[in-house]
Structure 1
Amino acid sequence: MSEAVASPPVAGAEEPGLRRSIGPFQLFAYTLGGMLGAGIYGLVGRAAGQLGAAVWLGFIVAMVAALLTGLSYASLGSRYPRAGGAAYITHRTYHRPLLTWMVGLAVMMSGLTSVATQSRVVAENLLRLVEIPGVPSTLISLGFLLLIAGIVFRGIRESMWMNIVCTVVEAGGLLLVIAVGMSWWGTTNLFETPSPEGITAQLLLQGAILTFFSFIGFEDTLNVAEECHDPQRTVPIGIVSAMIVATVLYIAIAVTAVSVVPWRELAVAPGPLAEVMNRAAPWLPGWFYVAITVFAVANTALLNYVTASRLTYGMARQGLLPQVLGRLHEGTRTPYMAIAALFVVVVALMLSGDITQLASATVLLLLAVFSLVNIALFILQRRPNEPRGGFEVPSFVPALGALVCLALLINRVATGDWRAPLLAGVVLVAIAALYAVVRPRDVLPAT
């Protein structure tokens, strides 16, 4: 495949930009890989506890809700294929450097905490697969982070191929569950719920809130739009097709799971899909899903690292971060200084211990970012002389997308653990304080 070089995002820059090497199939796999994380292997059980055998309906409602934001991101990607993702869109729309800074660092923090967390999960699962006497899990985590950083540095094409391999393994594991459990379809009432009132709007809303996050991967996709061939067409195809395929897989998995294992037992099983396989395919070795978990978690870490590096690169090119972070390697055309700087941060996060609460807090921040991005598209659609993309959506799509994300955010703050919202607030204050210290002076207009 021939590789083009994207034009620099900053007018007058002499340095060639990021390399265009991503086609529709690669971006589809990239977006799908961001959705099919290891979380689905445990999420089915938690969702069954809320929705009973009707868990499949929760995934449908969640997909409809998530599709609103997905369509907004697809439209924005076709309009403005720039590294920087939500930070670039925020800067272009609101012209407030502090707001752009906070959005960019919130998304970056979400990605880096995920990478740090996933490195520990990979190490723990590898030690379950292979006993390595005298080797601490921290050393394995560090080796994993080095490997991921090396792949991201090597090039976007190499990152895409690694993602395809991991996504095939993830999807293959889910397809195997469906294949061995399909003969159980039709043996249970798929409308049975824990509520004596049956399926209600409130019940579906609660299930949708839980399953909504199994569909998010838009920010990962938007941040590599600058590296796509024909992004006006590629970005919408990648996002929409991935969401459709993920929905079909999730529904089939949900139906299979509650058909093989009664939903009450599924809800309390420590490994819901592992329990499904124990009953439907007892011949399968126990290490099988441990190995799939390694691929799924590694894929999530890879995508988040790519996203964080492109976000850092984009913000540096806009003047919001030190200019050195916007440098590209002459051979690989990757933002090598951003990759190196992020490696230091993610290693520090990994060594700091359990950051589960921090990861939960950054998820709340992502909902706020999704709301701002939806509102941004609504504003940009009405602004004179804004370029139109190859994929336009009606104005009610971003409007409803913003309302859905705000509703989810309010629900999580009002009904969830108070520690995550409090920590999210602390993170925002820290990000704002850091802006006061750095005080970017040469912020360029979004072009």
Structure 2
Amino acid sequence: MSGSTGLARRLGLGDAVVIGLGSMVGAGVFAAFAPAAEAAGSALLVGLALAAVVAYANATASAQLAAQYPASGGTYVYGRERLGPWWGFLAGWCFVVGKTASCAAMALTFAAYAVPPAWQRPVAAGAVLALTAVNLRGITRTARLTRVVVAVALGALGTVVLAGLAGGDPSWGRVAIGADATWSGVLGSAGLLFFAFAGYARIATMGEEVRDPARTIPRAIQLALGLAVVVYAVVAVTLLAVLGPDALAASAAPLADAAATTGWGWVDPVVRVGAAAASLGALLALVAGVSRTTLAMAREGDLPRPLAAVHERYRVPHRAEIALGLVVVVLVLTVDLRGAIGFSSFGVLLYYLVANLAALTQDRAHRRFPRALQVVGVVGCVALAVTLPPASVLGGAAVVLAGVAWRAVVLRARRVGGRA
């Protein structure tokens, strides 16, 4: 892309890693562990390992596709190029609706840690509007702010882990897998925890803004995912040891509850500041990623074409970002956090299913990883998607079918108009 319709390549390797890590840390640590523990019980760590395996398989598919097609839109572009327009639309639609739900989840997580319950929804809506305004000022501002957010979040997590293990009376017997573990529960927890690993998609969707994308994007995706896995594993072990699977499953703010067991009053505000910062970092990167996929779909006419506009000064898809912000505000005023996580996971797993299918068609010259990893990704995405909570599966399937029906109507209308 060039001229007034193109984005500027301003992000280096460090920027891309930080944006991906910021997306994952905010989502996973502060939002997904409680519902995953409710599903898997004492087998939470097995679910985390399965989610990490599927995420790695998906990451390799995204990395080698992004190297071949370094444009905004991620799997929407890859699906169109490798499998055809309908596959591209399916991927793009699933990403937009799934990650719009993720935006709402992150805004609600921020508010849950930051303010009392009565204020949470209006504060979440205000956070969405504020961070949309930040993104409208340019992608380099997004990367700089995300660096600060990630540093604060990781500092808070380190404090909680040390405080919980030193003063929270941990029991390592709570970490062991018990008789309550079932494979259906493990798969369900892995599907929910996959929500936490999907942040690397933001790197691929911003392929048009990364310098030397063929080299930078694959490296950034693997680095961000590897760092996130380490962080998740440490935090998960700490939460299980300090709270146990039952208390973790029942918690609305598990990091805060773990801090409360220490009796150290200064830890709680550290946790809340870190949770708020991590959630805002994830929300910031999510708005950037979803708006870039919206831009790509609007360019092809799969979403309203006015959303393809790029701001002349700041080089961002400003109309797409404004529209997204308004939709997310409506969601945070109406949905619950756990429902948003399940719905998001369903949409994003279908998105990566298309990514793996597209990567399977790449030739040897563009292949960077074994083809078997894409087979693992296909099987894993399907297995995790169908074992999510029934409400998430039914709601997600309904929205996907609605999008397919809408596109079919639009295409028919265009054909009729062309014959007129």
Q: TM-score, normalised by structure 1?
A: 0.81
Counterpart amino acid of residue 71 in structure 1: T
Which residue of 2 is the match for residue 110 of structure 1? 98
2:80 aligned with 1:91, yes or no?
A: yes
Which residue of 2 is the match for residue 193 of structure 1? 177
2:44 aligned with 1:59, yes or no?
A: no
Aligned to 2:383, which of 407, 410, 423? 407
Which residue of 1 is the match for residue 373 of structure 2? 397
Provide the rounded CA distance (Å) in 2 between the counterparts of 1:217 and 1:435: 27
Q: CA deviation at 1:290?
A: 2.6
Contact 1:56 1:250 (C-alpha < 8 Å) held by counterparts: no
Contact 2:34 2:254 (C-alpha < 8 Å) held by counterparts: yes
Q: TM-score, normalised by structure 2?
A: 0.86
Which residue of 1 is the match for residue 128 of structure 2? 145
Aligned to 1:157, which of 117, 140, 155? 140
Structure 2 spans left out of the alignment, 5+ residues: 416-420
Contact 1:278 1:284 (C-alpha < 8 Å) held by counterparts: no
2:169 aligned with 1:180, yes or no?
A: no
| Segment of structure 1 superposing worse, 217-226 or 115-124 | 115-124
Matched-pair identity in % = 27
Q: CA deviation at 1:180?
A: 2.6
Which structure 2 residues correspond to residues 161-310 of structure 1 after superposition, within 5 A?
A: 161-183=144-166, 188-189=172-173, 192-195=176-179, 205=187, 208-280=190-262, 282-310=264-292
Identify if the C-alpha distance between structure 1 residues 210 and 429 changes in structure 2 by more than 3 Å, giving closer, same or farther: closer
Larger Rg: 1
Identify if the C-alpha distance between structure 1 residues 55 and 108 changes in structure 2 by more than 3 Å, giving closer, same or farther: closer
Identify if the C-alpha distance between structure 1 residues 228 and 430 changes in structure 2 by more than 3 Å, giving closer, same or farther: same
Which residue of 2 is the match for residue 426 of structure 1? 398
Q: CA deviation at 1:312?
A: 1.5
Identify if the C-alpha distance between structure 1 residues 270 and 112 changes in structure 2 by more than 3 Å, giving closer, same or farther: closer
Counterpart amino acid of residue 395 in structure 1: R
Structure 1 spans left out of the alignment, 5+ residues: 1-6, 9-13, 443-447
Q: CA deviation at 1:205?
A: 4.9
| Segment of structure 1 superposing worse, 249-258 or 187-196 | 187-196
Provide the rounded CA distance (Å) in 1 between the counterparts of 2:105 and 2:192: 20
Identify if the C-alpha distance between structure 1 residues 279 and 355 changes in structure 2 by more than 3 Å, giving closer, same or farther: closer
Q: CA deviation at 1:209?
A: 4.0
Identify if the C-alpha distance between structure 1 residues 152 and 265 changes in structure 2 by more than 3 Å, giving closer, same or farther: closer
Contact 2:36 2:188 (C-alpha < 8 Å) held by counterparts: no
Aligned to 2:71, which of 82, 89, 99? 82
Q: CA deviation at 1:56?
A: 4.0
Provide the rounded CA distance (Å) in 1 between the counterparts of 2:121 and 2:296: 31
Q: CA deviation at 1:285?
A: 5.0
Which residue of 1 is the match for residue 88 of structure 2? 100
Contact 2:157 2:274 (C-alpha < 8 Å) held by counterparts: no
Contact 1:29 1:164 (C-alpha < 8 Å) held by counterparts: yes
Which residue of 2 is the match for residue 363 of structure 1? 345
Counterpart amino acid of residue 157 in structure 1: T
Provide the rounded CA distance (Å) in 2 between the counterparts of 1:105 and 1:262: 38
Provide the rounded CA distance (Å) in 2 between the counterparts of 1:262 and 1:137: 27
